[in-house]
Structure 1
C-alpha cells in the first residue's frame, strides 16, 4: 500500500487525526510555512488515515531543557518486534537503516515502558519533555518530546497561552514543528569523516545526541482528553555533570566551544543558551566535552531571533583550527536540504533559504579568517529593535531582484552583497 502524506502547515496543528488503527498524525492545515512528512509505519504494511472525517481535537506539548551525555551503549541489540501501541519509530524512507545505537535506545525505552515504568516529566523548560527509564527503572535512557505538548501548543502542560496564529516562541518558528527540527539537527550534524547519508553510528561533529521520530502511547503523558498515541522526538539521554550555566565558560576547551558555534551558525539557532549545552566527560582522558541539546528552534524562516550565548565567551574570539576550517569547507547546503528530504522532511522555502544563507556566511567568514565571534555577531541583533547585519543583507538582496526571480538568482544576489559587506568590515 502507498503511504499517506502528512503535512504540518500554518497555523500550528490544533488537531490530530485518528486513523482506523488508533494512531494519530498531524492534521493538514493551511499556510505557507510547510514542513512536509510522509508518515508510514515501520513495516510498510499499514497507512495512516488522513481523511478529515477522522479528525478530533487534541491539545499539545513539547520542548524544554534537560541533561544528557553519552551513556554507555551496549553492543547492537537485534531489532525486536515492538508493540506498536506502545512505542515505534517513524521511518519514512525504506532505504534508511537506523543505527544500532538508535535501535538500542528504542529497545531500552520500550522495555522500560513495558516494565511499567512511567515517563518522568522534566520540571524545567517551557514544553512537555519526558525522561524515559530502562527496564530496571533506575536509569534514564531517552527523552521524549511530543509535538502536541510544545510551547504554545494546545496540550502544553506549562500553562503557556495557545498560539492562535501558529507562530512559536521564537520568530520564524512554528508550533508543532519542534520535534522535526530536533531530528533535523541530528541528521545534519555530520561526522568529521564525511556527510551523513544515513543514520550511522559515527558521532556527529558537534555531538548532537542520537534523535529519531517515534510514536508513543502512555497514560503518563499529558492527555486532557482520552488516551491517544503521541508523535514526537526521542533523543538519547546523555549522562552529564550539569550544563554550561553551572560554571564559568573559561574552563571549556576551545575545540568544544567551536564545534557548538559551527552547529548553531549553520542552523541559525534561535535558542542557544548555556542551559542547553551539557557538560560531559571523555571516558579516555576525563576531558570536558560539551553536548548541545534542544534544537526545536533551529532552521527558522528568518534570522530575527538568532541567539548564541557563546558569542561572549573568550573561546569565540579565537580562530578556528585548520581541522574545523576543513570541516566547514566540506559543508553543502544543497546536499543538506536533499538529505532532509530523503529522510522525509521537505523544508519550507524560507527555512531552506535560511540554511543556504547561514552556510554561505559561515564558509565566506572562515575563508577570510574570521573568528566565531566575528561571524556570529553578524547573525545576532545588538538590540531588539536593530536588525542584524545578515538581516540587512537579505533585505538588500530582496530589494535588488525583480519579483518572481528564481531562488538561485536571489541567492547569487545575497552572495554578492555579502561579499561586499564582509570586505568592508575586514578593511
Structure 2
C-alpha cells in the first residue's frame, strides 16, 4: 500500500494509469527486503511473481524528496509527439524517458521514498555501444531528442552512464535517457548546465554523432507545441507544486530552446551556449540572464534578451 504516489493516478490518461498501477502492484507484492541492483546501493530490483525483473526502485542519493519528484516530473514532461502527456495514451514520450513514478511506502520496518522506474534490457551506455557496434551508429535524430530534453530542463547530469542503448527486434539502437534528479540543479549559475558538459556535446566533438545541424521538422513541430505554463499546471494537478524557482527556470530554458530552434541554431551550438562554452562570454545563456534586471517583468525581459543575443549569435 502506497502512502503517496506522484503523479496522482486519477490525473493521467487511462493507459498510463494502468501501466503505473501494474508497476506499483509489483512493488506491493515484492519481498520486504528488496534485492539491490548491480553495484548500486540506492537502487533495488522489483521482481514479479515469476522472479522476472520488472522495475527498479531508486532512492534519491541526496535523500531529497524534491530530487525524486524531479525525476518523476521529467517523465511527465517528456510529452509524446502526438499530444501533451495529460491527454496522450502513449506510454513513451518524444525523448524516450522510461515510465517513472514517485512513491512513498513502508516495506517491512522501513519507510521508503523514491521513484519506481520501468526496467528494460540494454546493451550498455552510449560510449560502450559506440565501441562495440561502430558500424551501427546512433542516429543524430535520437541524440537531438535527448539534447532537447536536457536543454529544456537544464539537466546538469547527462554523462555517458545516463544514456543507455537498447536494441529493438531488428537490432537497431535506441537511446534511453535516464537519471534526471539534477534538472535545474545549478545553484551557483542557474543557467549553466556544464558539470561536465552534456555527453551529446562530447560525442559530437569526438565525431561519434553529428549534432551540428538544424533541428528536424518533426522536432520543430514538437517544440512549437510546448507550453511551460500548461506543464506547470499539469504537475500541480498531479500532486506536486514545483514552486516559483522551478517555474522561472523552466520557462526561461524552454524559451531559450524554442528561440534557438526558430532561428535555425543547431543542437551543437545551443549546447555550447547553455554549457557556458562560447568564446564570447556574452553569448552564454548564463551571461544573457545575468544582465537582465530582476523585476516583475524579469522572465519576459529575459526572453527578449535571449532573442536579441541569439539573433546576433546567428549572424556571427
- Short-chain TM bin: 0.7 to 0.9
Match of residue 34 from structure 2? 118
Alignment partner of 1:395 is 2:284: no
Match of residue 236 from structure 2? 341
Unaligned runs of 5+ in 1: 1-83, 154-174, 220-226
Match of residue 297 from structure 1? 182
Q: TM-score, normalised by structure 2?
A: 0.85
Q: Pairwise CA RMSD of aligned residues?
A: 2.5
* Deviation for aligned residue 1:397: 0.9
Going by fraction, where is helix more abundant, 1 or 2?
A: 2
8 A Cα contact 1:214 1:232, kept in partner: yes
**Which range is displaced more, 206-215 or 193-202?**
193-202
2: CA distance, partners of 1:208 / 1:336: 16
Which of structures 1 and 2 has the bigger CA Rg? 1
Match of residue 54 from structure 1? none
Which of 259, 265, 269 is the matching residue for 2:145? 259
After the TM superposition, which residues 2-401 of structure 1 pair with which residues of structure 2 at under 5 Å, given as runs?
84=1, 90-91=5-6, 93=8, 95-97=10-12, 98-111=16-29, 113-114=30-31, 118-124=34-40, 128-137=42-51, 139-147=52-60, 150-151=61-62, 153=63, 175-197=64-86, 200-218=89-107, 227-248=109-130, 251-283=137-169, 285-300=170-185, 302-306=190-194, 307-312=197-202, 313=204, 314-382=209-277, 389-398=284-293, 401=294
SS in structure 2 opposite 1:256? helix
Unaligned runs of 5+ in 2: none
Quickly say closer, same or farther: Cα 1:345–1:102, change in 2 above 3 A: same
SS in structure 2 opposite 1:290? strand
2: CA distance, partners of 1:110 / 1:118: 11
**Which range is displaced more, 307-316 or 320-329?**
307-316
Deviation by residue 1:42-97 (Cα, 9 ceiling, x = unmatched): xxxxxxxxxxxxxxxxxxxxxxxxxxxxxxxxxxxxxxxxxx2xx56625747424
**Which range is displaced more, 356-365 or 302-311?**
302-311
8 A Cα contact 2:292 2:305, kept in partner: yes
2: CA distance, partners of 1:419 / 1:244: 33
Q: TM-score, normalised by structure 1?
A: 0.64
